Amino acid sequence: MEKKKKIAEIAAQEKELSEVHLEEFIDIYGADERAGVKKLVKRAEIRKKAYLEEKERIRGMKHFEQAFGDYEYICGIDEAGRGPLAGPVIAAAVILPKDSELLYVNDSKQLSSKLRESLFDQIKAEALSYAIGSASHARIDEINILQADYEAMRQAVEALDPSPQLLLNDAVIIPGLSIPQKSIIKGDAKSYSIAAASVLAKVTRDRIMEQYDELYPEYGFAKHKGYGTKEHREALKKYGPCPIHRQTFIKKVML
């Protein structure tokens, strides 16, 4: 008779399991009557349920991509940094394979920093093409945030290879592009491609602001990424603006 594995060994095995192997684990240990093993199997069943629900959520997020399935190269576009008092606005454009199903892709604001970082690498590795566009704080002051946002988006789109045949945008139509566009309200929470772009844009901008934090540590950029938090506003009043502050954004703060 085969000797049963120790519960500690089974627990270590369950801890290391990827989602795709949960069903096998449940089949192997489902009949084990030991209370400790029953608990581990129950946990695996909960994980399996969450995994299947996440796969279904991702399939639902691909509704727009499927609705325009005649296009081979569909590009999701989103930006990060419209609201902060400092730093650039960043846009990302990404074309993913039609069969792409990266779990946990979502509006970047709904994700933890750790998960965003993990998805950032996965999206780049899986993308058929991706690109980043940017507009500096100075450019934002020069032409206003909306036009700077459009400029960053155009940069990203025009850098893609292959060129997209359709753009899925988060709530905007980008002027100056001849490519067909679809504006989706709250697109970063509804479209798989836009959500992926939101992750690329957010992580890219966060990393830039963390670099700026090393140059201007008194403002706390690594923590708030340039947004107008109480800490940031107090630092502005104490130290005045630094070279990356948006002058058109901080007028009221400096009064």
Out of 11-20, 40-49, 200-209, 222-231, which region has the weakest mean confidence (pLDDT)? 11-20
Closest CA to 42 of 10, 2, 5: 10
d(CA 203, CA 200): 6
What is the percent of the chain with per-residue pLDDT over 90, rounded to a whole number? 88
d(CA 105, CA 110): 10
Strands 89-95 and 74-80 come out as antiparallel
Check: CB of residue 128 under 8 Å from CB of residue 95.
Answer: yes
Cis peptide before 162 (omega within 30 of 0): yes
Query: What's the pTM value of the predicted model, to 2 decimals?
Result: 0.90
Most confident of 49-53, 65-69, 145-149: 145-149
Query: What is the per-residue pLDDT for 1?
Result: 41
**Structure confidence by residue, pLDDT tens digits, 186-211:** 999 999 999 999 999 999 999 999 99
Q: How confident is the model at residue 2 (pLDDT cuts 50, 70, 90)?
A: low
Find the Cα–Cα–Cα–Cα dihedral 88, 198, 157, 127, rounded to 10°. 130
Judged against a pLDDT cut of 50, whether residue 56 lies above it is answered with: yes
Check: CB of residue 190 under 8 Å from CB of residue 61.
Answer: yes
Structural domains of the chain ordered from first start: 7-61 (no CATH), 64-202 (3.30.420.10)
Judged against a pLDDT cut of 60, whether residue 38 lies above it is answered with: yes
> Average of pLDDT values for 43-68?
94
Judged against a pLDDT cut of 80, whether residue 159 lies above it is answered with: yes
